[in-house]
Structure 1
Amino acid sequence: MLSKSRFLLLLFPILLFFGFQLIEQKSPVSSDWPEITQTAKPWTRWWWMGNAVDEKNLSKLLETYNEAGLGGVEIAPIYGAKGYEDRYIDFLSEDWLSMLDFTVTKAHSLGMGVDMTQGTGWPYGGPQVSVENAATRMVIQDYEKVDGQPLSTPITFQKKRENQYDAELVAVMAYDKNLNSKDITSYVNASGQLDWNEAGAWHIKAIFLDKTGQMVKRAAPGGVGFTLDHFSKPAVDSYNSYFEKAFAGKNYGFRSFYNDSFEVYGADYTGNLFEEFQKLRGYDLKEFLPYLESEKNTELVRRVKSDYRETINDLLLNNFTKNWTDWAHEQSKLTKNQAHGSPGNLLDLYAAVDIPECETFGSSYFPIPGLRRDSADIRNVDPDPIMLKFASSAAHLTGKNLVSSETFTWLGEHFKSSFSQMKPEVEQAFLAGVNHIFYHGVTYSPEDVSYPGWLFYASLNLTQQNSLWPHFKGFNDYIARSQAILQAGQADNELLVYWPVYDVWAEPKGKMEMITVHAVDEWLHPTEFYKQSKSLMEAGYSLDFISDEMIANSSVKDGHIQTSPTNSAKVLLIPETEFMPLETLKDILKLAESGAKVIFQSKPKSIPGYHSDQKSKQAEFDALWASIAFQDGKVNFGKGQVILNRDSRAALESLKINREKLVDSGLDFIRRKVADGTYYFLVNHSANTISQSISLNAKAGTVMIMDPLTGKTGTLPTTYNSENTTVSIYLKSGESIFLKTFEDKVNLAIPAWPDYSQSSKSTDISNNWKLTFTQGQPKLPAAQTMETIEPWTSTSDAEADDFSGQASYTSEFEFKKVEGKQYLLTIDKVYESAKIWINGEYAGNIWSIPYQLDVSEQLKNGKNSIKIEVANLMANSIRYLDRNGIEWRNYHEINFVNIDYKPFDASNWKTMPSGLEGKIQILEFD
């Protein structure tokens, strides 16, 4: 019999084990805002113009960026400003590497991060790229051979320009009237004469390996040269080794190498393409060149083009993207890559790097009342947030936490973009899964360069000389608080939607299929994949896109599809698909056998590509499909279930996969799962105030509300059952908020969130103000007094009309403050950002619609003072410079262009309203 002490000794490890298990299952709850890390803060692309940098300015600028709330910089060397050539530093020279070293050391001392473009300008290339390793294209010259007559024209490369390199003859193919082919390369002598005279009329195609001749765009000193052949492993290896040698084994401490969107124009070939094609696709592409060149919508044309494009994808993915990432890891670096614009499978290309990066390009329409959107100041593009989900899906499915975005590229015309316009655009990116914002961007501009400093032609121009810069931290803090949550835990998306890339690759038009941001109307919008994804998201479902390879790499755990150790989903949806590989169908059914739930909209019609045994392979595919014994459109398949239903929503409802009904109110959302609950990001981009009870699918005994604008938190009353939670939400148009749900009732020791839905009293303080100009360009106008507050551009003061900078409105007012009440300061219109002080105490920053701020803590009973510092846009001072012929843009290469890529001229601009307009009120709430 065991003694009591012996029994306790044996019992203790068991109790300890179960105690640890309990700790793992019930993580402690937290009402704290997640830590604002380096990556939670927004980063920026940092253009080094002419590499004309020095330690003094690097140090000062990094300190300035840090104070403004930036978390890191991405060094992007580009062309330089004229007149400063004596300051230029050649890329990767000893002096340049010294500047890199200094930059990284200084940034790290400030807690900032550094990335760098692996080259200058874009795309990858430079003086180290030999002609042999330069971007390559296939040129096909056609000849007609008449029966019985020798070919009179020698088969030699026909140059289109004088300085074009001689192209290499790869092969010569002859085709009869039925397109049967013969390889007659060996019959062509060194001078191009064809010694071949087989009977019949023949169409002859001579295939040449030519160089595109494309040079690096916007190259910096030391970076001019040919664009790289991304499809060639030797070329990529050579390119990487150049950097490895330049770094000479020294770890400069930056985080990652960056690669911009694929803009390698005309590159559709590499030296061993035909050999790789034969190995990967099983037949000789040269025999099918007439089909590759044809644009007829025939089956064989589509199948050959699909095979060609898949091969190009394989070369890009394996020889460049994966190869580059493997090499970077050997250098202890990460990779950050924009896959869009390339001819490959975006999902697999994004998944092959450490930080997938998408981009926002142009200006989206939001029906938010008062949000400025002048058609003359925006590009003629219509950004689609679904495009952003290719990058976030790849990250989610492969367990990568960060999804970056090149943000605000050509959001609006230079000097006219405001924080209020930027907020919904960045929120749209957040809703698509982006959580690591990079501004496009900030230009290095030294202290001795006069206003407006050095500027990049396609930039938002957020430099230290921008009149909005002193207010920039308020916007950055909003992004940092948001990203701190959006980088926490894991994505919480219940659906996987298959992207049928083979349908895209089977497009009969053209040779390459460049999957670009600007051509979504061609390759994305007409597809059922897009229509289903958009419809399901609008209905309240959360989803990610999945590729063939990702399906092959997935497994099933507890009935959920596990795409990585940290990501799972409830259902795999196959939209209407024309082409699907046999192996993909096998992989899908294998998942179903293991317990997955799969929904097909319809039977995939065919296997992709051309096969010598096409009929037997298609028969195998059809037989496999026929083995799914549907009854009334569904079947239990192994441990799982397969459903055939054109109505995806009905199929999901039959599986009890619930949508988030909160979207019916007009809200948009995204979720993140964390150890102690679920985060909801709720955004009101509708035209109306949303004031109603909404349902959350997460079961919650307690709900915390978190305002990313101010960092304030509070609790919301809840009611819940076994399936969902109900809370009351009040969000004006343009507002956004985070909710955090806790499964059980917990005491968070934070106050209840004020109810701002109905004010009990208002106090108008719009009268008797003084306006003082404090800092800006071209000079400070005289102070003004205002009986009723108004913009300083409405006072018939020419100097005020030309002014860009900061000015302070000040006033005093009597106020009766009641303890226990909440007070909201509201301003009808702010042009463009306002910092508020009440009774000398800083209350906060107003820069987004609706223009409001809780000032309960700063108000007092009796006489109060108020100061509102307003920062306006640069537009008015830039107009002044152009009207007065003051030269400020003088750059090599592209100089400076407007939003339509025409010469920039602001002299005819109208005055942009600046200051405050309308009523200023203090609203009281119970």
Structure 2
Amino acid sequence: MNNRYLPYSSILLLFIFLLGPVACKQEGSTLQTKVRAGEWPEETRTSKPWTRWWWMGSAVDKQNLSRLLKAYEEAGLGGLEIAPIYGAKGFEDRFLSYLSPEWLEMLRYTVATADSLDLGIDLTQGTGWPFGGPMVGPEMAAQRMVMQVHSYSEGMGLDRPIVLEDTRAARFAYELHTVMAYQNNQSPINLTDQIDDSGQLSWDAPGTWTVIAVFQAQTGQMVKRAAPGGQGFTLDHYSQESVGNYLSYFESAFGEDFPGIRAFYNDSFEVYGADFTRDFFRYFLEKRGYDLRDYLPELLAEEPGEHSKRIKSDYRETIGDMLLENFTGQWTDWANQRGKITKNQAHGSPGNLLDLYARVDIPEGETFGSSYFPIPGIRRDSADIRNVDPDPIMLKFASSAAHLKGKNLVSTETFTWLGEHFKSAFSQAKPELEQAFLAGINHMFYHGVTYSPQEVEFPGWLFYASLNLTTHNSLWPHFRGFNAYIQRVQSVLQSGIPDNDLLVYWPVYDIWADPEGISKMLTVHGIDEWLHPTPFYKGSSLLMEQGFSLDFVSDALIQELQVSEGQLSAANGAYTAKVLVVPRLSYLPLATMERLLSLAKAGATVVFQEQPSDVPGFKNHAERRDALERIWDGLSFEPAASAQVAAVGEGQVILSGDLLQGMKIAGLARETLVDQGLRFIRRNVAGERYYYLVNHTAETIATPIPLNQEGEAAVLMAPEQGMVGLAESTREGGKLAVRVHMEPGESLIVHVLRNKGSGIPAWHYRVSDPEIRTLQGPWRLTFQQGGPSLPQARELEKAIPWTDLPDASSQHFSGQARYETTLDLRLEPGARYELSLGKVLESARVLVNGQEAGIAFGIPFRLDIGDFLKDGTNEITVEVANLMANHIRYLDKQGVAWRNYHEINFVNIDYRPFDASSWEVMPSGLAGPVTLRIHH
């Protein structure tokens, strides 16, 4: 091993996690670390990728648990999230009932075995999703509000009896909750106590009235994909009593011996139609200060006016408050009191996503579908394109909440339906994951891995939604290469604290004031409606594209901000930002405006894109709006470069329709490296900055890039292969310009040092005109393992995909095959030797002279192999793993039954019955050209 780079295995941290419940709690909080220059941070179970682990039918046993956990550890996983779901037919005698003594024994065995392998275990608190099960009776189940409009006239009475007319709602438990009568210029009258069991009204009044009956009806939703023993109704998440009773069920099941898991986990809020709970009207009165029952016609208005929009906003805010307090807060407090933490997906909820994420220990986002990247050679099948691409701004809701609350970990459910079953490669997954890293994610979870007994033949037990990275997957032997990349990146992104420039206020009240409908669920699939059209989204996108790093902030989080030396701070000073931006909006709460000016008086800079002109909500809105206007009128603005600036105490308020101009006036410098096409995120580790960079463009970026940081030197760290070296850099005004060379698809970490970086070997750069030697062959192709059968070995004149061969067995084969050749070489001192594999279908493990040189899992499929070469003849082996697709195609063409499950069975990406028999053969193998690039 030569010393051109420090080996990535040389690792040291000054602080490490302690094991046990206390350490579990710390995993969600800020961790201040110091990493030695020129070394990767310590590898921990948390820095490794984790995965959701589907327990099909909970048909698990100790022998298979031990075998699989060892395989997961060897593949480089750091932990698993157990999710019991429906089972496979024919294995019913192995099913374990959820929370039964036998099930609990397997859980405890799993935790103990995982701990011996340094693997962590999380557990979803239920089976399938959402929370629910047999313990949830009708009185605890998710509820909805069914409103019926009746008429009453003097002498005629009701137009019809008040009985539930919604036939679907009538299939489940329901009750008449409230009856209200309305007449112009009259106060509403509550008639609930005057309706008998047959729906007749015992009330006399003059004139004609509109009568609205509110039924509290069970949604009827059952737990989706429930495991044996977990079937039942979905929980009422808005009810404090129902949630408390649900949690107490687990106390009874676990007793005094709670399992040694790290976290309880909750999936995205998919409680469809749930918009009510028994105590809603009382809670609304307490929170909003007026009785919603007096204004039910406004909720039903066909042509909503101003009052209707305000009342709907109040309704939506109240539902969000109930979810936050009665479910998210109660659940997290309950878990923390028992030495556990919570991990939660807030998206899909009807509440303020930032506040919901902020209330748990590990906020979790989700990547669903695939994105377009201009990286040459990357595959994106047209059939895999969803209605909405994954959006990193959506992920920033989770990371922003974590950052402002000082929580160190931000997770993501990753690669949900990245592509069609059996067609997703690491090369497609890598930029999708990098996009999440850039959004602040630092603790990724695969979606997912399925438990499958050893005796179940290919393709094993599978979950109905791809990614299916199981031990049966033909990519599995190369999985550890991709996981090593993730581990290195996350080790840096979990170190220190986030380093972002500014905060952008999220105007959730603009969303809540939508006149359409009543309930408002903020889903990942609906961002084209509630997120993309907004000035908030457009402004945030513009600022990020121009090189400003940012987080989002809610009204509640603004109330927690402090000011220190002109900087906004949160999490007891562990988080800082320089500027707070209020984008163009319709509604700004008076309390938020007052707090913003308070922060400005203390020295903060607040930039408004437009004067706020209105307040949200119904009660006393005219008075509150006047107060907002008076506050604004009290600011003394002076013209300043196409904007206006008002001095406020020790700080300032800037009014600028052009946000970029506002940043310039605020004195906030952008990262100009984005002009090269690079994207970045920064971490502050004990005062030194780490830049994580990616090149998702179609062009090589080989140039000095300016960094908006002071420093004496910089270290380059390549997470794909783990190389580290001292960069070439220059200083201008104390700030660094660092030379990089990044091919399309590559990532790089830049560590800005406060010293000269003495003792760190220099980074060996690629050159623009390397000497290129093509490995012409001949090549020996040998099929190693896979199926349905192993094709015969053969000699090839040049490297070609094995699916180009004429025999049918090569067309059907999924697995690993080795391409072997030799290379005569005389080594030159100081040269860098890089093996470029050209086109790989789909992943390659390279051995040089019998030693593994690395795994090339993504574009540009290049590995530095200089440490393994020798003078003379070198043996070059490229072990290629393809996708499962061709083997699955063969099975379906032959009519082999491989999918037979109790629920949903198996569907394709469009949720239709899966059938691969009509697929074309997926090209597989080494297409090349394979070259050795010698950089002198």
- Tell me the amino acid that sits aligned with residue 41 of structure 1: K
How many residue pairs match? The answer is: 900
* Residue of 29, 40, 45 corresponding to 1:38: 45
Match of 2:862 in 1: 852
2:71 is matched with 64
Structure 1 residues 136, 29: CA separation in 2 closer, same or farther (over 3 Å shift)? same
Of the candidates 568, 571, 579, which is equivalent to residue 576 of structure 2?
568
Report the counterpart of residue 651 of structure 2 in structure 1. Answer: 640
Q: Secondary structure at the match of 1:455?
A: coil
Residue 196 of structure 1 aligns to which amino acid in structure 2?
A: W
Q: In structure 2, how many angstroms separate the alpha carbons of the residues matched to 1:122 and 1:315?
A: 20
1:840 has 2:840 as partner: no
Q: Pairwise mapping of residues 519-918 of structure 1 onto structure 2 (< 5 A)?
A: 519-565=526-572, 566-611=574-619, 613-632=620-639, 633-675=644-686, 677-747=688-758, 749-918=759-928
Contact 1:703 1:718 in 2 (8 A): yes
Deviation at 1:180, TM superposition (A): 5.8
Provide, for residues 757-798 of structure 1, a one-character-per-residue CA deviation record: whole Å limited to 9, x for no partner: 323411111320010001001010011111111000001111
Distance 1:28 1:471 in 2: 29
Pick from 276, 297, 315: which aligns with 1:269?
276
2:111 to 86, 104, 125: 104
Query: What's the CA shift for 1:683?
Result: 0.4
Percent of pairs identical after alignment?
Answer: 55
- For the 8 Å contact 2:370–2:384, the answer to whether it is kept is no
1:460 is matched with which residue? 467
- CA deviation map 1:346-365 (0-9, x unaligned): 00000000000000000000
Secondary structure, aligned partner of 2:66: helix
Tell me, in whole angstroms, the C-alpha distance in 1 between the residues paired with 2:217 and 2:304: 28
Contact 1:772–1:809 under 8 Å retained in 2:
yes
Shift of 1:71: 0.1
Superposed displacement of residue 156, structure 1: 1.6
Q: How far apart in 2 are the matches of 1:496 and 1:161?
A: 46
- For each residue in 1:57-89, what CA deviation from the matched residue of structure 2 results, as whole angstroms up to 9, or x when unmatched? 001100000000000000000000000000000
Farther off after superposition, 40-49 or 192-201: 192-201
Unaligned runs of 5+ in 2: 1-31
Aligned residue for 1:767, secondary structure, equals coil
Please state how far the C-alpha of 1:717 moved relative to its aligned partner: 1.4
Number of the residue aligned with 1:493: 500
Contact conserved, 1:808 with 1:869, CA < 8 A, in 2? yes
- Taking the aligned partners of 1:162 and 1:37, their CA distance within structure 2 comes to 50
The offset of 1:297, in angstroms, is 4.3
Q: Summarize the Cα distance change of 1:811–1:151 in structure 2 as closer, same or farther, 3 Å threshold.
A: same
Going from structure 1 to structure 2, the CA distance change for 1:295 and 1:652 (only over 3 Å counts) comes to: farther
Distance 2:109 2:145 in 1: 44
Give RMSD over aligned pairs.
Answer: 1.5
With the length of structure 2 as denominator, give the TM-score of the two structures: 0.95
Work out whether residues 298 and 304 of structure 2, in 8 Å CA contact, stay in contact via their aligned partners in 1: no
Deviation at 1:731, TM superposition (A): 0.8
The 2-side partners of 1:366 and 1:159 are apart by 47
For residues 28 and 921 of structure 1, do their structure 2 counterparts lie closer, same or farther at Cα, with a shift above 3 Å needed? closer
Provide the C-alpha distance between the structure 1 equivalents of 2:283 and 2:822, rounded to a whole number of angstroms.
Answer: 78
Change (3 A) 1:791 1:27: closer
Aligned counterparts of 2:803 and 2:162: Cα–Cα separation in 1: 71
Shift of 1:191: 2.2
- Distance, in Å, in 2 between the alignment partners of 1:848 and 1:412 is 16
In the TM superposition, what is the alpha-carbon distance from 1:573 to its structure 2 partner? 0.6
Aligned partner of 2:907: which letter? V
**Contact 2:353–2:397 (CA<8 Å) still a contact in 1?**
yes
1:220 and 2:227 are equivalent in the alignment:
yes
Kept after mapping to 2: 8 A contact 1:115/1:255? yes
4+ residue stretches of structure 1 with deviation over 4 A?
25-29, 177-180
- Alpha-carbon distance, 1:166 to partner: 4.5
- The offset of 1:251, in angstroms, is 2.9
2:443 corresponds to = 436
Do residues 133 (structure 1) and 140 (structure 2) align? Answer: yes
> Is the 1:596–1:640 contact (alpha carbons within 8 Å) kept by the matching residues of 2?
yes
> Which secondary structure does the structure 2 equivalent of 1:857 belong to?
helix
1:764 maps to amino acid: T
Tell me whether 1:473 sits opposite 2:487 in the alignment. no
Give 1:171 deviation, angstroms: 1.5
2:27 corresponds to: none
CA offset digits 1:184-239 (Å, max 9, x no partner): 22332232111223222222111111110110000000100010000000000000
Shift in CA distance, 553/781, structure 1 to aligned 2, threshold 3 Å: same
Whole-Å Cα distance in 2 between the matches of residues 179 and 732 of structure 1? 73
For residues 445 and 186 of structure 1, what CA distance do their matches in structure 2 show? Answer: 57
- The residue aligned with 1:176 is 183
**Contact conserved, 2:169 with 2:218, CA < 8 A, in 1?**
no
Find 1:339's aligned residue among 332, 337, 346. Answer: 346
SS at match of 1:59: helix
TM-score, structure 1 normalization: 0.96
Q: What per-residue deviation string (whole Å, max 9, x for no partner) do you get for residues 292-339 of structure 1?
A: 122534211110000000110110000000110000011110000000
- Segments of 5+ residues of structure 1 without an aligned counterpart are 1-24
Deviation at 1:163?
Answer: 6.9
Q: What is the CA–CA distance in structure 2 between the aligned matches of 1:728 and 1:370, rounded to whole Å?
A: 26
Corresponding residue SS for 2:680: strand
- Distance verdict in 2 for CA 1:32–1:56, change over 3 Å: same
SS in 2 for 1:772: strand
Q: In structure 1, give the amino acid aligned to 2:560.
A: N
Offset of residue 723 of structure 1? 5.0
Secondary structure of the corresponding residue to residue 181 of structure 2: strand
The amino acid across from 1:586 in the alignment is E
3-state secondary structure, aligned to 2:213: strand
Give, as a single letter, the amino acid of the residue that structure 2 aligns with 1:800: S
Q: Aligned to 2:637, what secondary structure does the other structure show? A: coil
| Corresponding residue number in structure 1 for 2:21 | none
**CA distance in 2 between partners of 1:477 and 1:706 (Å):** 14
CA distance in 1, matches of 2:915, 2:750: 46
Please list the CA deviations of residues 722-768 of structure 1 after superposition, one character each: whole Å capped at 9, or x if unmatched: 35211122111111110100123231x23211221323411111320
> Where does 1:17-416 land on structure 2 (aligned, <5 Å)?
29-161=36-168, 164-176=171-183, 181-416=188-423
Distance 1:285 1:155 in 2: 20
Deviates more, 1:210-219 or 1:136-145: 136-145
Deviations 1:665-718 (A, max 9, x none): 000000000015110011000111112221001112110000101111011111
- Cα offset, 1:652, TM superposition: 1.2
Deviation readout 1:586-634 (Å, 9 max, x if unpaired): 11111111111111111112111101x3322221221112112222211
Q: For residues 362-391 of structure 1, what are the alpha-carbon distances to aligned partners after superposition, in whole Å with 9 as ceiling and x for unaligned?
A: 000000110011102343431111000000
Which residue does the alignment assign to 1:19? none
Which is further off, 205-214 or 191-200?
Answer: 191-200
Partner SS state of residue 853, structure 1? strand
Structure 1 residues 103-125: Cα deviation after superposition (integer angstroms, max 9, x where no partner):
00000000010000000000000
CA contact (8 A) 1:669 1:682 kept: yes
Show CA shifts across 1:125-151 (max 9, x none). Answer: 000011101000111112123443122
**Partner AA of 1:861 in structure 2:** D
State the alpha-carbon separation in 1 of the partners of residues 142 and 185 from structure 2. 34
